[in-house]
Structure 1
């Protein structure tokens, strides 16, 4: 889902160059750093294998892991638009495939007690944890070292909504 959202905004940014005469693309990372690119110098933006590849005409590509991108924004002389990628109740799991520690990133509107479950493809609950979270983005580390290799679903229930994301254990 996150990849589709990023792809949509990346395409909108590139198409928007002709429509609003935008000048600069900003990529804000989760560590707080920000990179900027002149839109007139960009050939394309692609999203291969959970990365964002920014390909300028100078052929000096920048590859950024999608898990490191907090949001994209761009500005022109008149309009300033910022697109926040972390919406409330958004779920992301990484790395995929995972060997030992699965990182679960979830964004909350307010402090809640949630249920995090790891479910195998037969529907059996392998792990079931209740976690109290603060508002904002929370990263939870789940030890999956004891799981056999295979496909699993990570399910978050925040009381109102169930969200799941599939991952592979090596």
Structure 2
């Protein structure tokens, strides 16, 4: 798989968050708030869990088909058992980059007796989707004014970069 879609992680023009609710401690709500607070200038979209019309000031849609545009980057914060389904739906709509902040995929069995993590990997490969995650903190890109993470601290733009891995 080529690296041409990595730009969608670091300089996305639009972002969609999946799995947000109006609850203040909900991961999707936190990510939406961080994107707004960091000054992300592109369109933000969301599909909420509770049928909310608006979360953190961002319009919620019923489905991917109702989005005004195909997002450059999808951020999945939905429950673990929904993640593989979301990745397949993203592939059907030609979304090429997704971050999965949801944890626990490796330990959750699916209907096919694979782990949900393996189902996500299979779906991503079949549609050519680049995945960051699962179980990641997200991505902070100060140069793009983007805090797409669960960290509430915005980082100043500078000349130092850090890429880390855990687990």
The TM tier, using the shorter chain, reads under 0.3
By percentage of residues, which structure has more helix? 2
Q: Which has the higher contact order (CA 8 A, sep 6+)?
A: 2
